[in-house]
């Protein structure tokens, strides 16, 4: 770890850095999976879904930066390379064979829900480590993911 005057004890910071880097890997993976949907969606809902997926990816890019910056603030190295992300992500692989809007809606909704679960768990972990700032960051991300999940699922629910 890098030297810092951050008041959190080093042992706590090391645990937080590991937690943040795991969610960083998930965030990068989720952003790329959402971009996969954005690039490849087809069908009658093309424009609406492309716009939605693009907005989600844009928000995720901001959260990737916030998570990485928090790691560095605590004295760690942000591990965001493709090599590390593919080995550390807890998210399932995106189904590359998907082409139509409904398939992308299902894939994006599934991965958003999975990521949301991991982020909500991270709120409690950061709280247990007495880091209100990281817990607040995870809470902000969780609220955003729940909103995006709601908007994506609304496309499914309208078709049922």
Decide if 3 is inside a domain.
no
Decide if 128 is inside a domain.
yes
* Domains in the chain, number: 1
Q: Which CATH number do you get for residue 45?
A: 1.20.1260.10
Mean pLDDT of 10-34: 97
b/e for 12-39, b at 16 or more Cβ within 10 A?
A: bbbbbbebbbbbbbbbbbbbbbbbbbbe
Q: What is the mean pLDDT of the chain?
A: 94
Decide if 110 is inside a domain.
yes
Decide if 4 is inside a domain.
no
Decide if 114 is inside a domain.
yes
Decide if 28 is inside a domain.
yes
The pLDDT score that the predictor gives to residue 159 is 53
Cβ atoms of residues 25 and 85 within 8 Å:
yes
CA–CA gap between residue 53 and residue 43 (Å, rounded): 14
pLDDT of residue 99 exceeding 90, the answer is no
pLDDT (tens digit, 9 = 90+) per residue, 48-93? 999 999 999 999 999 999 999 999 999 999 999 999 999 999 999 9
pTM: 0.94
The pLDDT > 70 percentage for the chain reads 98
Domain around 51: 10-159
Decide if 2 is inside a domain.
no
3-state secondary structure 15-83: HHHHHHHHHHHHHHHHHHHHHHHHHHCECCCHHHHHHHHHHHHHHHHHHHHHHHHHHHHCCCCCCCCHH
């Amino acid at each position: 770890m890098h030297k810092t005057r951050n008041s959190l004890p080093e042992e706590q910071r090391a645990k937080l850095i590991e937690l943040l880097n795991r969610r960083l890997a998930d965030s990068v993976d989720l952003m790329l999976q959402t971009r996969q949907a954005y690039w490849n969606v087809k069908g009658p809902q093309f424009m609406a879904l492309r716009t939605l997926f693009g907005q989600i990816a844009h928000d995720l890019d901001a959260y990737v930066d916030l998570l990485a910056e928090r790691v560095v603030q605590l004295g760690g190295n942000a591990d965001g390379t493709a090599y590390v992300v593919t080995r550390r992500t807890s998210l399932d692989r995106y189904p590359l064979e998907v082409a139509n809007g409904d398939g992308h809606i299902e894939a994006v909704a599934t991965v958003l829900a999975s990521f949301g679960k991991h982020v909500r768990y991270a709120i409690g972990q950061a709280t247990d480590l007495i880091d209100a700032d990281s817990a607040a960051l995870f809470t902000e991300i969780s609220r955003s993911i729940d909103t995006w999940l709601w908007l994506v699922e609304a496309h499914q629910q309208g078709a049922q």
